[in-house]
C-alpha cells in the first residue's frame, strides 16, 4: 500500500481544491448471461487506491487530504459463490482507507455540504449525485501528468513486469518451429507469464506470421506457421495492473533469408538510433522524425525507393512502409495516458498523424520504441497508380515484397536524468536470434 499512499500524497499536493469524485471499474457479465467477465480495475482508481474489488467509487477531500471509498453491499448469500464477503472494517484495514457502502453516498454528500465535484471526463451521471455540479476540465489532466512520471516504487513494478515479459518472449523465440499454429506460440508465452508471476496480459497477444506480420493489430492467431515465414510477436504482461509491451520479429525456421536480413537491419537501425537519442527535454516528435530519416536511408540503400532524401521525407514516402508512430507512453495502460498534454495537438500529416505522443521527455517517463517496415497492399497498390507518388518508388522491386509481411521491433525504455534505460531484454541482433533459435 506504500505505492498507492505515495500516489495519493502526490495528487493532494496538486493545485486541485475542494472535492473530487472518481468511479471505479464495474463488474459485468458476458452479454445476456450470468457468466462473469474477468474484472480489471479502472487504472486511475487503482493508481490512487490499489483496490482490486469492483463496483467501488471514491471521493477525494482535498481540504483534509483524505480518500473515502464507497463499495457495493453484497448479501451474505453471495459467499456461497464468491467466498467470504469482506466487512467494511476488513476493507479499511486492507487498504488503509475509510470505507462506506454505496447506499451511504448521498448522505455523505449532504452531511458534508458538497455542491461541486471535480470528475474525470469518463464520468457517467449517478442518481445520488444528480443535483451536484460537476467539472471535468481539471481532474483528468492532473491524473495524466502525475501518472506519466513514475515514482521509484512504480519503477520497481515496471522492471519486474518487463523482466517477466522478456522471459516469455525469449522462450517463444527459442522454441518456435515451422508448422506450429500461431496460438501454440501464444500458449507458450502465457505459460511463461503465469510461471513467473503474471496472471494477466496487458493486451491480447499479436502472433502474426507470413503476410499476417503486415497487419498492425492482428489478433486472430489461428494460422499455421510455414517454413520460411517471419513471425511477429507483440505482447505484454501485467503485474498489479502495471504492464509491459514487447515486439520481436524472427524467422520461423531460425535463419533469416537475405531479404529478411536486409529489411530487419533497417528496422533495427531505426530503433537503436532512436533509443540512443532519448534524453530529458528531447521532443518525442524529433525522435520519431529521426526514425523516418533512418527508414528513408535504408530503403534508398536497398533500392526500394528513389529520389532525393529531403524530397522523400517532405512527401511522406516513409509512411507507405512505416504507417504508425514510433511508440507510446507505458504504465498502468499499454497505451498509457499523458501522450498529449494540454496545449499539444496531433500533427495532421502522413508522417506524424498516428503518433501517440507529442511532448518533451522527462525523467521517469516510460515509452515504447517500436519502429517497423511493412509491405501492406492497401497502402502500396494505390501508390503504384499515383503518378505523384510512384515516381519515388521502384515499383517492380516493391511488388516482389508484397507477400513479405512486415517487421517491428519494440522495447520499453525509461527516460532517466542522464539519458535512458532499456527495461526489456530479448535478443534482437540477427546473429543473437539465430544463435538462440539454433540452440
Q: DSSP secondary-structure letter at 320?
A: G
Q: What is the C-alpha separation between 415 and 422, in angstroms, rounded?
A: 9
Given strand 230-235, what is the order of strands in its sheet? 206-209, 230-235, 246-251
User: What gap in Å lies between CA 222 and CA 337, rounded to an integer?
Assistant: 32
Nearest to 234 by CA among 261, 202, 211: 202
pLDDT of residue 245: 98
Specify the pTM: 0.96
Within 8 A by CB and 6+ apart from 299, the residues are 266, 305, 318, 321, 373
Note the pLDDT tens digit of each residue in 195-206: 999 999 999 999
Q: What is the per-residue pLDDT for 236?
A: 98
Residues of the chain with pLDDT under 50: none
Q: What mean pLDDT value characterizes the chain?
A: 97
b/e sequence 364-374, b meaning 16+ C-beta within 10 Å: bbbbbbbbbbb
Range 9-41 burial, b when 16+ CB lie within 10 A, else e: ebbbeeebeebbbbbbbeeeeeeeeeeeeeeeb
Sorted by sequence, the CB contacts under 8 Å of residue 411 that are 6+ apart come out as 246, 271, 275, 368, 369, 370, 422, 423, 424, 426, 428
CB 413 within 8 A of CB 423: yes
**Distance, CA of 174 to chain centre:** 25
What does the pLDDT read at residue 327?
98
Structural domains of the chain sorted by starting position, each given as residue range(s) with its CATH number in brackets: 2-147 (3.40.350.10), 152-438 (3.90.230.10)
pLDDT given at position 128: 84
Amino acid at each position: 500500500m506504500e505505492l498507492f499512499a505515495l500516489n495519493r500524497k502526490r495528487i493532494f499536493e496538486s493545485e486541485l481544491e475542494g472535492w473530487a469524485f472518481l468511479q471505479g471499474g464495474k463488474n459485468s457479465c458476458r452479454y445476456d448471461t450470468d457468466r462473469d467477465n474477468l474484472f480489471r480495475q479502472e487504472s486511475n482508481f487503482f493508481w490512487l487506491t490499489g483496490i482490486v474489488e469492483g463496483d467501488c467509487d471514491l471521493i477525494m477531500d482535498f481540504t483534509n487530504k483524505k480518500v473515502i471509498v464507497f463499495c457495493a453491499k453484497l448479501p451474505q448469500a453471495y459467499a456461497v459463490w464468491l467466498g467470504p464477503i469482506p466487512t467494511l472494517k476488513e476493507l479499511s484495514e486492507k487498504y488503509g482507507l475509510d470505507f462506506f457502502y454505496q447506499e451511504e453516498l448521498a448522505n455523505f454528500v449532504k452531511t458534508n455540504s458538497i455542491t461541486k465535484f471535480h470528475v474525470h471526463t469518463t464520468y457517467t451521471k449517478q442518481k445520488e449525485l444528480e443535483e451536484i455540479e460537476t467539472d471535468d476540465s481539471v481532474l483528468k489532466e492532473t491524473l495524466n501528468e502525475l501518472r506519466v512520471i513514475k515514482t521509484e516504487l512504480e519503477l520497481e513494478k515496471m522492471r519486474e513486469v518487463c523482466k517477466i515479459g522478456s522471459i516469455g518472449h525469449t522462450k517463444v523465440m527459442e522454441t518456435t518451429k515451422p508448422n506450429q499454429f500461431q496460438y501454440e506460440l501464444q500458449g507458450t508465452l502465457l505459460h511463461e507469464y503465469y510461471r513467473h508471476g503474471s496472471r494477466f496480459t496487458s493486451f491480447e497477444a499479436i502472433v502474426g506470421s507470413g503476410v499476417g506480420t503486415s497487419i498492425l493489430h492482428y489478433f486472430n492467431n489461428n494460422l499455421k506457421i510455414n517454413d520460411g515465414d517471419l513471425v511477429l510477436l507483440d505482447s505484454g504482461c501485467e503485474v498489479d495492473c502495471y504492464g509491459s509491451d514487447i515486439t520481436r520479429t524472427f524467422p520461423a525456421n531460425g535463419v533469416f533469408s537475405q531479404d529478411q536480413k536486409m529489411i530487419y537491419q533497417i528496422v533495427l537501425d531505426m530503433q537503436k538510433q532512436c533509443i540512443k537519442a532519448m534524453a530529458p527535454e528531447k521532443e518525442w516528435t524529433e525522435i520519431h522524425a529521426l526514425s523516418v530519416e533512418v527508414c528513408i536511408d535504408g530503403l534508398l540503400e536497398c533500392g526500394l525507393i528513389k529520389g532525393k532524401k529531403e524530397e522523400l521525407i517532405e512527401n511522406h514516402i516513409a509512411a507507405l512502409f512505416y504507417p504508425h508512430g514510433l511508440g507510446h507512453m507505458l504504465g498502468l495502460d499499454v497505451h498509457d495516458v499523458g501522450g498529449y498534454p494540454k496545449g499539444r495537438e496531433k500533427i495532421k500529416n502522413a508522417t506524424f498523424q498516428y503518433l501517440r505522443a507529442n511532448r518533451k521527455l522527462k525523467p521517469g517517463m516510460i515509452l515504447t520504441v517500436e519502429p517497423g517496415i511493412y509491405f501492406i497492399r492497401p497502402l502500396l497498390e494505390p501508390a503504384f497508380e499515383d503518378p505523384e507518388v510512384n515516381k519515388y518508388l521502384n515499383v517492380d522491386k516493391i511488388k516482389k515484397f508484397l507477400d513479405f509481411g512486415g517487421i517491428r521491433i519494440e522495447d520499453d525504455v525509461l527516460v532517466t536524468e542522464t539519458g535512458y534505460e532499456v527495461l526489456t531484454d530479448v535478443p534482437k541482433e540477427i546473429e543473437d536470434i539465430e544463435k538462440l533459435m539454433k540452440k
